[in-house]
A and B are shown apart, each in its own frame.
Chain A
Amino acid sequence: QSALTQPRSVSGSPGQSVTISCTGTSSDVGGYNYVSWYQQHPDKAPKLMIYDVNKRPSGVPDRFSGSKSGNTASLTISGLQAEDEADYYCLSYGGTYSIFGSGSKVTVL
């Protein structure tokens, strides 16, 4: 069970869009529609941003969207804002286990 693969860093200017990928296998990301995305600011607990691939919890701006194709899930942040600068992690269900991605740092230039 190696961590799902995410880019180490992603950056964009305010107002731009950025996409973070999360690549797993047919046993986890590709096998179930149970991918979540978490945002974590320094020294804070993670916050759920997307669940079940593309659903947004109440209170999460619609600038955040999720999708999946095959063994790769993606989180897109449209209209990037300064407060979006944080670490982002995907989490996938894999039947007998769940597994996080390696994490991506989003930098707002």
Chain B
Amino acid sequence: EVQLVQSGGGLVQPGGSLKVSCAASGFKFSGNTMTWVRQPPGKGLEWVGRIRSKADNDATAYAASVKGRFTISRDDSKNTAYLQMSNLKTEDTAIYYCLTRLVNTLVVDYWGQGTLVTVSS
């Protein structure tokens, strides 16, 4: 069974840092792109960024709103993706999701359970 289990998150002051993890199981993690998406309370979805597989040099890409402040990484030995957030702003308050798309004979998106990050003084 495919699972993405998130940890981390919580309350942080403006200007602070926080790291969210996404532990994967049930599929070949090392071969898959991992994506992060966020959703502020009561608002729409925002694509945050992604990291490709080692075959694609772990290439990362970020939304303009987080570029330079957020870093996505992965540890294939631990089947885990990370979202490191720095210089956090109040507008970064959101539920953060990790997700991956598995493409075989079927195409399926798998989402983590979501982690609430609250940036407030």
A38 interface residue, CB < 8 Å from B? yes
Identify which of B47, B63, B65, B111 contacts A91 (C-beta below 8 A): B47
B50 interface residue, CB < 8 Å from A? yes
Q: List, in ascending order, chain B residues with CB within 8 A of A55's CB.
A: 107
State the Cβ distance, A57 to closest chain B Cβ, in Å: 5
Q: How many A-B residue pairs have CB under 8 A?
A: 55
B-side interface residues, number (CB < 8 Å):
21
Chain A to chain B: the 10 pairs with minimum beta-carbon distance, closest first:
A103-B44, A48-B109, A45-B111, A100-B45, A98-B47, A1-B64, A58-B106, A89-B45, A57-B107, A96-B61
Most buried by A among B44, B63, B108, B113: B44
| 21 pairs of residues in contact across A and B, judged by CB atoms under 8 Å | A1-B65, A3-B46, A38-B45, A40-B45, A45-B97, A46-B45, A46-B109, A48-B108, A55-B107, A57-B106, A57-B107, A57-B108, A58-B107, A97-B62, A97-B63, A98-B47, A100-B37, A100-B45, A100-B46, A100-B47, A101-B44
In the complex, residue of chain A having the shortest beta-carbon distance to the beta carbon of B49? A97
| Chain B interfacial positions (CB closer than 8 Å to A) | 35, 37, 44-47, 50, 61-65, 97, 101, 106-109, 111, 113-114
Interface residues of A in 11-29 (CB under 8 A from B): none
Is the contact region of chain A dominated by helix, strand, or loop, or is it mixed? strand
Q: List, in ascending order, chain A residues with CB within 8 A of B50's CB.
A: 98
Contact status A1-B63, CB under 8 Å: yes
State the Cβ distance, B51 to closest chain A Cβ, in Å: 13
A86 interface residue, CB < 8 Å from B? no
